[in-house]
Chain A
Amino acid sequence: MKRPDVTTTSTRAGSVASTISFSNVDGPGNRFVVFLQGCNFDCVACHNPQTIPVFQQVVHGDGHERARYQRSVDEVLAEIRRAAPFISGITVSGGEAMLQPEFVRDLFTAVKADPTLQRLTCYVDSNGSCDDATWDVVTAVTDGTMIDLKCFDDTIHREMTGQSNGPVLRSIERLQSMGLLHEVRLLVLAGVNDDNALLHRTGEWLAAIDPHMRLKVIGFRAHGARPHDPPLVEPTAERRQAIADLLHTIAPFDICVV
């Protein structure tokens, strides 16, 4: 087997679901991605529902076992060093990255302190639900954030995620004002959050913050998501493009449709 080159001095540990060496869908360029375990949202459309519980259910021998996936900053750094020549940066995702702000801070700090890694940018991919004080733990060492806006309507947001969107909207505004907002992701769930009038209000709110904002319109994909009654519906490619076109009538957003 392949042996990672670990020279651990073991600092802070995080609950890490998994890592991937190369990703081209988690921020600018090629990125090493750390998926942290545990999320405070319980989204009906989540395509990685196994990362929601703080404890991960693992099959061990003949029975099930609850286990935390602990990895130290140094262990993750050793993996990043292998990928470093090939990437633009690292992204911490989840689960919800900002449930472990100290781990994120220490990981980013370590990257920026290492002469061989300091050119890498450090991004957070978050549901945007944490408060200012929590963001303030990481912002000094963070180069950019990507925030999901599940729905601009709070009632629908609560139905989709189990939580209010108030903190999410606050995060988007504040991160933008700090120059740390790379992208806002708009998840589209056909028949749930894709009403044209609602999308129009969403676009106007975003345009007031930054008319050139980078938006990613992401169609819900059933693959990986938990079964739901009634079944959740994937928007068609035409519908996703129509949503992008609608948003473009509001402001010159930089829109990517996936």
Chain B
Amino acid sequence: MDVNEFEARAHALVTDGTLGYDQKVRRLASLATEMLPYPILSTECQEALDARVICDMYEGNAPFTARYILPDYEKAIRNGLTHLEMPPPTTLDDALAFLMVMYGNVPSVTTYPVYLGDLDKVLAPFVTDEISDAQLDAALRRFWISIDRILPDAFVHTDLGPNDSRIARSVFRVERSLRQAVPNITLKVDPELTPDDLVEEGVRTVFETGKPHFVNHPMMVADHGERYAAVSCYNSLKIGGGAHTLVRMNLKEVALRHLAADDASLDAFLATTLPHYTELTAELAEARIRSLVEQQHFYDTHWLATEGLIDIDRFSAMFGIFGLAECVNLLMSAQGLDGRYGHDDDADALSRRVVERVAELVAVRPMPYCAGGGGHCYLHSQSGIDLDHDVTAGTRIPVGDEPGMLDHITTCAPHHHLFASGVSDIFHVDETAVRNPQAVVDIIRGAFSTGMRDFTFNLDSNEFVRITGYLVRKSDLAAIAAHEGARHGSDLLASGSEESFHLTQRAVKRIGCHERTVQ
């Protein structure tokens, strides 16, 4: 970017009539790093990045924070914070104030914390029998309002479960009464530990607010150990760690380039083209990680690291893929076959070959500073950003093309075990389920017993729309369209998707879009 372009973009930001003050400050900061040199890449990697066959999520040229950070809040509460001069709290009110202070000092690419802690566990020591449910609800209600107003970003995320607790149930009651987009919530579900009626409480809350997201706890524990959480949208990472960065590969673009090559066979795709672009994506990840760790020295200098609330050995990076549906359909057509992903056994089998091949390649590609992932990236089914056009998020079946729910699940489930850091498929449930929430509990349990890692559903006709994993209210999107601005940064991202895809006109059918740094 030359100085003239910088000036023009900075000028446009400061004079923008719809952005709030904080939104301008964050965008200006992001713009400033674009004046710095990009980490050095090979020519091939740079070309693939410029053509957006591979993508850095527009994180900026000189990463100076890890993308996703999961501080160990339980440890913080136990020991207090030196940097912030906060002694360990002793009451529920103290604990909530302590956390609010801490949240204001946890960085991420969006500048807002993507993880608020597993609040049922973090707050458990303070919720004694002396505190009634009414007092608990009132305290959490004030806390929830503060979170939404002070951290206005739907990637802000808390986790609950798998064990039952008064706190989890209170959170669901508060959620249903407030109907806020923030924070996002995940309920960890373990068939042995999580009672059906807690899952049902979650389901009833989805009917009202589109939250929580459900995760397969035993599968997560097998990949990450007990200390993991789902954060931002659908990113499952280690507590006390996180992800340095997220890079992603557009499988549709990879397939298009392959089919234009001399040997456009399926074998060559798996043997040559896919490994080639996988390596370029890995190169991009490595360059960004080295920049963060070795140039900006994030882990040597940030207080979370120096106080032992994060540990670089619990970090890895996320290797995302998207556009699987288009990739498979293109490769099928090239073989003269008309079966489509999600509707045909052969297409589905091909989808598994492609994903398994990428997983195999990522699992053997050494990655520096990624001890959290055993020295490798975590594979991730990446659910899109607001700039994606004509390409399907992650490993999803294209919106509007989904088969019946059973076929939808059986198409997607076989991929899930490969995506340690998360995979999102969003299912649509019609209005009649409101009178029979057990039916949705049945489906969630079935999904996890057949190997799904993540499960999210939307109720048709809900005021809340899930974009990738984060939520927006349709009324907030309407306000942006009317040039009234938006209090939540994530609403502005969603609005980009809406303008491209007319999301709200498709009931709750969702489209691609993901956190694209600070827009």
Contacts and interface: CB of A to CB of B under 8 A. Distances in A.
Contacts of B124: none
A3 interface: yes
A24 B436 contact: yes
Interface in B413-460: 432-433, 435-436, 438-443, 445-447, 449-450
Nearest to A86: B446
B432 A82 contact: no
B318 interface: no
Given A24-B439, A28-B438, A29-B441, A83 B406 contact: yes
B443 A86 contact: yes
Given A2-B345, A25-B436, A88 B410 contact: no
B307 interface: no
Contacts of A256: 435
Contacts, number: 66
A183 to B, nearest CB: 12
A85 B439 CA distance: 12
B161 to A, nearest CB: 21
B443 A30 contact: yes
Nearest to B430: A24
Contacts of A29: 436, 438-439, 441-442
Contact of B406 (A1, A21, A31, A88): A21
B405 interface: yes
B407 interface: yes
Contacts of B343: 1-2
Interface string A16-41: 00000111110011110000000000
A258 interface: yes
Contact of B404 (A22, A85, A87): A22
A2 B450 contact: no
A34 to B, nearest CB: 15
A1 B446 contact: no
A86 B443 CA distance: 5
Interface centre among B344, B345, B403, B443 (most CB of A within 10 A): B443
A258 B435 contact: yes
Contacts of A28: 436, 438
Contact of B433 (A2, A24, A31): A24
B441 A86 contact: no
A22 B442 CA distance: 10
Contacts of B406: 21-22, 82-83, 86
A87 B442 contact: yes
A24 B428 CA distance: 13
B304 to A, nearest CB: 41
B441 A1 contact: no
A25 B404 contact: no
A3 to B, nearest CB: 6
Interface string A78-104: 000011011110000000000000000
Interface residues of B, number: 26
A24 B439 CA distance: 6
Interface in B57-109: none
Contacts of B447: 86
Given A2-B343, A86-B409, A87-B446, A21 B404 contact: yes
Nearest to B442: A30
A30 B407 CA distance: 15
Contacts of A83: 406
A185 to B, nearest CB: 13
Contacts of B410: 82
A256 B437 CA distance: 14
A88 B432 CA distance: 16
B432 A22 contact: no
Nearest to B449: A85
A195 B450 CA distance: 50
B407 A85 contact: no
A1 B433 CA distance: 29
Contacts of B445: 85-86
A24 B457 CA distance: 15
A241 B47 CA distance: 64
A149 to B, nearest CB: 20
Nearest to A27: B436
Contacts of B404: 21-22
B112 to A, nearest CB: 36
B345 A1 contact: yes
A28 B443 CA distance: 13
Interface centre among B339, B406, B450 (most CB of A within 10 A): B406
B207 to A, nearest CB: 12
Contact of A88 (B344, B345, B409, B442): B442
Given A22-B404, A86-B447, A30 B440 contact: yes
Given A21-B404, A24-B433, A25-B432, A85 B345 contact: no
Contacts of B405: 21-22
Given A83-B406, A85-B449, A2 B344 contact: yes
Nearest to A89: B442
Given A82-B406, A86-B406, A30 B439 contact: yes
A256 B432 CA distance: 12
Interface in A75-133: 82-83, 85-88
Interface string B338-350: 0100011100000
A87 B339 CA distance: 29
Nearest to A21: B406
B425 to A, nearest CB: 14
A105 to B, nearest CB: 25
Interface centre among B439, B440, B441, B445 (most CB of A within 10 A): B439
Given A1-B343, A2-B343, A85 B450 contact: yes
B421 to A, nearest CB: 25
A3 B345 contact: yes
Contacts of B441: 29
A258 B435 CA distance: 9
Contacts of B443: 22, 30, 86
Interface in A226-256: 256
Interface centre among A2, A21, A25, A82 (most CB of B within 10 A): A2
16 contacts: A1-B339, A1-B344, A22-B405, A24-B432, A24-B433, A24-B435, A29-B436, A29-B441, A30-B436, A30-B443, A82-B410, A83-B406, A85-B445, A85-B450, A256-B435, A258-B432
Given A1-B343, A258-B435, 17 more contacts: A1-B345, A2-B345, A21-B404, A21-B405, A21-B406, A22-B405, A28-B436, A29-B436, A29-B439, A30-B438, A85-B445, A86-B406, A86-B409, A86-B443, A86-B445, A88-B438, A88-B442
Chain A to chain B: the 9 pairs with minimum beta-carbon distance, closest first: A86-B446, A24-B439, A30-B442, A30-B439, A85-B446, A21-B406, A29-B438, A24-B436, A29-B442
Interface of A: 1-3, 21-25, 28-31, 82-83, 85-88, 256, 258
Interface of B: 339, 343-345, 403-407, 409-410, 432-433, 435-436, 438-443, 445-447, 449-450
